[in-house]
Structure 1
């Protein structure tokens, strides 16, 4: 039994028990919600968890009576419904795992299909469109998925989102992990006052968190679609060269933010010149997203 079905069943039993403190038939729950579930198995799982007791004296395998632990669990579910942050965390976790299951071949997918997938609920209540859109915005903000300007709108996991799913799909834990910054050098000739006294040649080591994922994805995407763009052969070759340079810089041990910016800006200019095809438009938007990440 999925967690969503169990929570919904607990709340349903709690409601029926308040109306009539006698035993309740789980088969009625299965019929009411039109579930493809074995009511005897649902009842047995609740019994084994100590949340309900099967009334075996009646010779039944589906009639149960909620235990004190079951009533406490139902009360906690009702309180949990009011926790908006917990709802967002739950939806984001479920969504990233669902996307990984359906997005294995990196094909963009309509995220509203998530709402029709059995078992996706929070504290016994259905996941709403508002829940979905909030979770999508949260995942996109942290670069765990890309939102594509298709019709209907589609999304796909980023490599970082796939890593999160493979690690168990706990988005908050993934975001809380410390990430190494990128170290680069700033050369300042004839610098005064940076260090005590006068320095004729000063090298400052700065550390700035730069996520190369967006740039690597952009380079890979352009490499795939360059043959479909309306460009002269010389311009196409130049675009592919820039894509290779960007890929190499993004994959280096310490990507240079300045070079990432220059290569991405050049690539955006060339994609704009390629016209308004869907492939070029998506590339421009990916370049803008990558540039915005540099601040």
Structure 2
């Protein structure tokens, strides 16, 4: 159900005021809303079965449906992976609209005032928007200038791959993992007797570091992280789970290839990625990648 900003604000105000007590009445006379906006909003909410007029004095009660609606909405907002997936794709679609209009924005900060900058009725923050923009740039989907002291990208635009992503009708995660990157070796797993899945592995990993960690162990961690990330489309995970696996794999890759990788952080990221892969561990491919993770965890130690 679509609710306007005013309607959702009013509904959540009543929800907070009743504190899950369906019999409690709320007087909106002192509520921090424009009186004209309240009148239109409560009528719409009443029509939708979310609020009901408790008396002729202008006080309201929330319905059981309204209580569940807000509870589910707030639970959805707390779903970090789903929120991140929505934000990344929203940024791609926003830039695609600018691409079609030949209207390049001055900064990704302008996204915040667009009609695409909400998730579950809540605005994306400036920090998470800037972080998503940097991720999309690192993934080769958007380009723009990064200036010191400024989090947002200046004069952002879609790359050719970004245009393809927007037109693919896929999530960013699905698009990035829709084909096996060139280079490296592959292993093939047959699933359900008909589907072959190829996942790239690291066969040429080299690194100079001063961490004291055996480079062979770092290569093993990279092998696991890369296999986990490239296998995402074949695990049968939902979009939120895909994003979580992708994020953890990316963080593990970044830590393993850094100048001074931290053993404790490597172990924590490896363990977290194994847990994120757990829903896929029963499949042939998921089982193989999970096994790679367990071997990597044993190698890095505690």
User: TM-score band (shorter)?
Assistant: 0.3 to 0.5
Q: TM-score, normalised by structure 2?
A: 0.45
Q: TM-score, normalised by structure 1?
A: 0.46
